[in-house]
Amino acid sequence: MTAPAYKRILLKLSGEALMGEDSYGINRATIDRMVSEVAEVVRLGVQVAVVIGGGNIFRGVAPAAAGMDRATADYMGMLATVMNALALQDAMRRQGLVSRVQSALNIEQVAEPYIRGKAMRYLEEGKVVIFGAGTGNPFFTTDTAAALRGMEMNVDVVLKATKVDGVYTDDPKTNPEAMRYQRLTFDEAIVKNLKVMDATALTLCRDQKMPLCVFSIFKEGALKRVVMGEDEGTLVQC
């Protein structure tokens, strides 16, 4: 059997990816299917860390948050990511995966505090580590948290799971002739304003020479193909 191209990965999941066809919240069938994709690569011996967003939870309270102080809204969003992390951990438990949730905010009754050394040890033991609460600071997105945790965990690649199977020259939903980039440089992505990640996350990955792959988590087997080094998604590198 061919060995995986990457031994340790960080998977960035958006909260919206957990909604499935629902308008907000967590769709049970969707989260179970995503976890089965993660389980498949874990069985290959790949060490997996996850950073998860909270947009699906926060969307339900967004009207009430209109006009709210930005820092307060961001802290609410961080709490939403912790809720998603716990739901993801429970889905992993149902499928026989051992995982640990670490939070950048201290909520010790429900999640461990983020400790880099402990997270590294969990990965080496074959456990999935789920990072909640972003960076723990307002004004920073979970994209930036994914780039930061990827550096700290010494992963081989950051994988951004989206609804689209890569980065395109144009919106493939409105332009059927839009072409998928197989490879990009970080500078190209920044200059062309391609919606890969936010600028802070892209710059951090570029400066630390951390490869980034954008792929569709809704495409069956896509995560495994990325991990095996096949032509799946868009690889962004220096």
Binding residue positions for ATP: 12-15, 55, 59, 162, 168, 171
Point out the annotated binding site.
12-15, 54-55, 59, 74, 135-142, 162, 168, 171
Point out the annotated binding site for UMP.
54, 74, 135-142
- DSSP states of 173-203 as a string? TT-TT--B-SEEEHHHHHHTT-SSS-HHHHH
Angle subtended at Cα 9 by Cα 4 and Cα 12, rounded to the nearest 5 degrees: 135
Contact in structure between 179 and 169 (CB atoms under 8 Å): yes
Strand pairing report for 234-237 and 212-216:
antiparallel
Beta strands in 53-156 (DSSP E): 99-103, 112-113, 128-132
Q: SS3 for 130? A: strand
Of residues 8, 7, 5, 16, the one with CA closest to residue 142: 16
Contact in structure between 159 and 11 (CB atoms under 8 Å): yes
Distances, alpha carbon 64 to alpha carbons 34, 76, 84, 182, 213, in Å: 30, 12, 20, 41, 35
Contact in structure between 75 and 86 (CB atoms under 8 Å): no
- DSSP states of 31-52 as a string? HHHHHHHHHHHHTTT-EEEEEE
